[in-house]
Amino acid sequence: MPRYFLHLQEPPEVIRDEDGEELETLDLAIEEAKAAARELMAASLESGGPLGKGRTILIEDEGGTIVARVRFEDAIPPEK
């Protein structure tokens, strides 16, 4: 099963995921990144901080290639 690394890009820094996670597909890695982004935004709001919509999660494959980018603002479900 492939391993994906979800790095947090909080300009100008990138906080690297050194362990990664085994996920069957890139689509599952993207869903995992969106869930992580929502959790981080919720934690920030709960502590009185900003939402941080300008942050991004970079998804890197085992070969060291960035295969997807998930912007925090894209993890927010649309209003109905």
Beta bridge pairs of residue 28: none
Whether 80 maps to a domain, the answer reads no
Domain annotation covers residue 37: yes
Q: Band of the pLDDT at 77, cuts 50, 70, 90?
A: confident
Residue 80 has pLDDT above 90, yes or no: no
**Could you tell me the residue range of the domain that residue 40 belongs to?**
3-75
> What pLDDT digit, counting tens, does each position of 28-75 carry?
999 999 999 999 999 999 999 988 889 999 999 999 999 999 999 999
The tally of domains found in the chain comes to 1
For 75, the enclosing helix (H) or strand (E) is none
- Please state, in angstroms and rounded to a whole number, the distance separating the CA atoms of residues 38 and 61: 22
Structure token pair of residue 39? 């959790």
Does residue 62 form part of some domain? yes
Q: Which amino acid is at 23?
A: L
Give CA–CA dist 68/12, Å, rounded: 19
Q: What is the pLDDT of residue 34?
A: 97
